[in-house]
Amino acid sequence: MMTQDSSDATRFMRQAIALAYQGMAGGHGGPFGAVIVKDGEIVGQGHNRVLSSNDPTAHAEVTAIRDASKNLARFNLSDCEIYVNAMPCPMCMSAILWSRIGKVHYGAPVEAAEKIGFDDKAFYEQLAKPLEERDIPVVVVSECDAEALACLQSWIDNPSRIPY
């Protein structure tokens, strides 16, 4: 017997897939769509818009998070879940962590998606490497050590700062 939960999950995932097709049809970007759900209702949605918006950060999950945050007028989405038609990349998974979304539902099975060319292993490997072994240089501007650190310290020292 299919539970109500399962039926809802199917409905939300189909909406994510529909968004992905719409985005591709419009030439907006890659084959990705996402919906964000709170209390059984969609509160945000998006699709990949890297091409149409010239924004390399405009992945489906990021656009959906921006949409939900705007609609709910808050940056904490801990009472929400996200449905996306493929496993999020490291940028999107980190965006999900920052948004405090409580659960991720993905569509295409990871191994099958990898077999047809969708995987983020290269990025995960880069993130796991020491700085000096990365593909792109990541260097400190040592002349500004103290100034840069003082800037961070000023945030810590402000008792009225709002954590996020």
Of 73-92, binders to a copy of itself (CB under 8 A) are: 73-77, 83, 85-87, 89-91
CA angle 30, 32, 33 (to 5 degrees): 140
22 binds a copy of itself (CB under 8 A): no
- Asked if 51 touches a copy of itself (CB under 8 A), the answer is yes
134-153 positions binding a copy of itself, by CB under 8 A: 136-145, 147-149, 151-153
Residue 145 burial by Cβ neighbours in a 10 Å radius (0-12, 13-18, 19+): exposed
The single-letter DSSP state of residue 84 is E
> Could you say which of 34, 35, 37, 101 contacts a copy of itself (CB under 8 A)?
101
Q: Does 94 bind a copy of itself (CB under 8 A)?
A: yes
Structure tokens at 114: 């990898």
Residue 103 in contact with a copy of itself, rule: CB under 8 A: yes
We find the least distance from the C-beta atom of residue 40 to a copy of itself, in angstroms, to be 15
For residue 40, state whether it binds a copy of itself (rule: CB under 8 A): no
* Contact status: 6 vs a copy of itself (CB under 8 A): yes
DSSP string, 40-64: TEEEEEEE--HHHHT-TT--HHHHH
Kindly tell me which residue out of 117, 130, 132, 159 binds a copy of itself, with binding defined by CB under 8 A.
117
Q: Any catalytic annotation for residue 132? A: no
Tell me which residue has tokens 């292993």: 121
Regarding 44 and contact with a copy of itself (CB under 8 A), the answer is: no
We find the least distance from the C-beta atom of residue 39 to a copy of itself, in angstroms, to be 17
Residue with tokens 């419009």: 26
Set 61, 81, 114, 132: catalytic member: 61
Return the beta strands (E) in 40-135 as ranges.
Answer: 41-47, 81-84, 103-106
Q: How many chain residues touch a copy of itself (CB under 8 A)?
A: 89
1: Cβ contacts below 8 Å, ≥ 6 apart: none
Give me the active site residues, please: 61
